Structure 1
């Protein structure tokens, strides 16, 4: 990726991430195009090259860490439950919302075929680490009708009262996304736990609920 460096874009991307990480300055579409064929070939092997991913994640440039995330999303079907600790380690090393929000998709895909992920996510929701909690909250974000509401409620309740911006946002986004599928459940949850939810969480969770009520009037 080094030969694709764009210093001006790299500066902008670093600034967006609060200057915590180095970037080559490769936009997402261009970056993904660089390894599209490689990922297609890797999927035919039906196994994850953890040695390669570990090496890439150690690179200081964020694009290599994004590659690891994209790789794992693409090959999530071939990741056994026993490797969940590896995903957790990448979340911890990534240490910010961008890699967390990509890697929780991997956990989500794993959870659709292995029920042991449910208990693991409950454990993660009790973690003192903000990004581990956030991954637990949002791992069902794309589940729609497959959402386990009992699991969602348990995880959200475990995370209430953190007073952390990225946790409050994650709770709000989880509720907002599920409100597209089951608005009554979300409305009931917000009403029942209104005093424990932050104003930010309520605002995010109510986005589509408010639109729905407006349309019905």
Structure 2
């Protein structure tokens, strides 16, 4: 069974991204993202269009879980441009490999979160790969998210806070409380923004619960409070 990365997929992805490079756009993207890693300059729709035929090519398919994980790591670890990170996430999220998005892959997602350490990659991983695993395995992953909420890494903590964004009525309110409360006094913008985002998203299906949560936590930062109540109006 093949356990190393798929060399052809890695090389095809790299070549396709180089071929699509737009240096002018790349410079603007790098400034906007405040990224030390450069961009090739692909728009999000163009990136998806470039990657889609490569990910669908049967000749470039992953023959084993080990190869899938190794290829994700190869695209990520050897990346010279940020779109290569995005390609690694696209491979992770590719529909045929969805059965592999499970508890066994969570250590890999944490590794990518720690290495990426910025909102674009962290949020994509957290609100798709991590979320899907939490929803599929709520007991064991609920415990993991509570551990992540106390992590030494801001970005792992942020991932725990937002890991149920998009879950709608499948969201575990007790888990949401448990990952927010240890971080309420965190002064970092990205933590406070994450709290507000998670609450605002849940307000779409449980507005009264969110109102009650905000009212019960007067120590929430102004940013978290404003974001949580953005579509609800002020508390009475």
User: Would you identify which runs of 4 or more consecutive aligned residues in structure 1 move more than 6 Å?
Assistant: none
After TM superposition, list the pairs within 5 Å mapping 1:4-19 onto structure 2.
4-19=20-35
SS, match of residue 49 in structure 1: helix
Unaligned runs of 5+ in 2: 1-16
Question: Cα offset for 1:19?
Answer: 3.5
Paired with 1:85 and 1:137, the residues of 2 have a C-alpha distance of: 17
> For this pair of structures, how many residues does the alignment match?
212
Task: Answer yes or no: is 1:119 the counterpart of 2:139.
Answer: no
Question: Cα offset for 1:40?
Answer: 3.5
**1:3 corresponding residue in structure 2:** 19
Question: Cα offset for 1:46?
Answer: 7.7
Question: Cα offset for 1:44?
Answer: 8.6
**1:52 corresponding residue in structure 2:** 71
**1:38 corresponding residue in structure 2:** 54
Task: Answer yes or no: is 1:201 the counterpart of 2:224.
Answer: yes
How has the CA–CA distance of structure 1 residues 70 and 193 changed in structure 2, closer, same or farther, with 3 Å as cutoff?
same
TM-score calculated relative to the size of structure 2: 0.84
How has the CA–CA distance of structure 1 residues 145 and 43 changed in structure 2, closer, same or farther, with 3 Å as cutoff?
farther
Paired with 1:43 and 1:192, the residues of 2 have a C-alpha distance of: 50
Unaligned runs of 5+ in 1: none
**1:130 corresponding residue in structure 2:** 154
| Contact residue 76 and residue 106 of structure 1 kept, 8 A | no
Give CA-to-partner distance per residue, 1:173-215, whole Å, 9 cap, x none: 0000000100000000000102x1111111100111119x9xx
TM-score calculated relative to the size of structure 1: 0.91
Q: CA RMSD in A?
A: 2.0
